[in-house]
Amino acid sequence: MNPRIARLAVPALLWLALAPGARSQAADLGRLFYTPAERAQLEAARAHNLGQDRPAAPAAAPARVQRFDGVVIRSDGAATAWINGRPQAGASGAAGLKPGQIRAGGRIYEPYQVLGPADEAPRP
């Protein structure tokens, strides 16, 4: 066999041997975390806006410290932002803050710049 053909044939044979297994694994994943019945229940609740009837967290007065914990945007486009650990329905974030940042005393701090309760304890 020609060495040049052999160098091309080996990778092609390996690809042909491994490709069907990769496709079957990807097809088996399905939806994560929910059974089909639970997923149908979630979709029905979303279609009827059952989660929208509960009152949103009260809008707090501007605090001295504002921590933007993150935002979740559902597949239907509805967003919930977490500010100071409380959900804010319909909010897309905190003005001027990226997730994890904290505004205090007119300055913006990154998470690594702030000491947590465990960091304040004296070390032996």
Mean pLDDT computed over every residue of the chain: 74
User: Cβ(94)–Cβ(81) under 8 Å?
Assistant: yes
**Average pLDDT over every residue of 89-102:** 85
- Tens digits of residue pLDDT in 27-73: 566 656 678 888 888 788 777 765 554 555 555 555 588 899 998 88
Q: Does position 77 have pLDDT exceeding 70, yes or no?
A: yes
Cβ atoms of 111 and 101 closer than 8 Å: yes
Residue 114 pLDDT grade (very low, low, confident, very high; cuts 50, 70, 90): confident
pLDDT of residue 34: 73
Query: Is 80 exceeded by the pLDDT of residue 112?
Result: yes
Domain residue extents for the chain: 44-115
